[in-house]
Amino acid sequence: MKKNYKENLNKVVCDIMERTAFLFPEPVENPDDANFGNFQQVMATLKYSGEQDGEITLIVPVDLGIELAMNLLGEDVDESDPGDKPYDAIKEILNIIAGQILTDTYGEKAVFNLTAPQSVNLDHETFNAIVEKKDYALSLSDDYPIIIKMKVKEEVHEH
C-alpha cells in the first residue's frame, strides 16, 4: 500500500473516531514501532461495489469496542459481560469510516452498494499473520491498536 494511501486511511479513521466516538487515535507511521499487546482482536469487514469493487476492514481490540459502544451508542456496557454491544459498535464505526473513505477516494458523486459489516474474533495466529503483511494503516488510541485496510479489486466498472 502506498504511503500516502495509508496516511489518507489513518486521517479518516482518526477524524471519525474523534468526531463520533470521542477517541483520539494517533497515526503510527511504522508498524514495527507498535506494541500490539495481547488483546482479543475483532475484525469487521464491509464489502462495496459500484464505481469500483472492494472491501474495507477494521481490526480493533474488543476492549476498544467496549469504549466505542459507550461513546458511540451511548450505552452502559458491563465490561465483564459486554454481549454484542462492542461488536455492534465496531461495525457501526466501520460503516461511518467506509462511507468517508469511499467519498474521499472516489468523489461525492460515486455511488456504491455496501454490504452489512460482518465481524469475527481473531485468534492470535491469524492476527499476527495480518500484522506481518503490513498492508494496512495503523493508529493507536490509548495503546489500543486500530488497523484499517482497503482492498480494491483490479477490474473497473464502466457506467
- CATH number (domain holding residue 147): 3.40.1550.10
Calculate the alpha carbon distances from 109 to 63, 97, 118 in Å: 36, 17, 26
Tally of domains in the chain: 1
pTM of the model: 0.90
The whole-number pLDDT of residue 2 equals 47
Can you give the residue range of the structural domain that contains 12? 3-30+39-154
123 inside domain: yes
120 inside domain: yes
118 inside domain: yes
The whole-number pLDDT of residue 157 equals 52
Going through 62-136 in order, the beta strands assigned E by DSSP cover: 112-114, 118-122
159 inside domain: no
The whole-number pLDDT of residue 6 equals 85
Intervals of the chain under pLDDT 70 = 1-3, 155-159
Phi and psi torsions of 50, nearest 5°: 150, -120
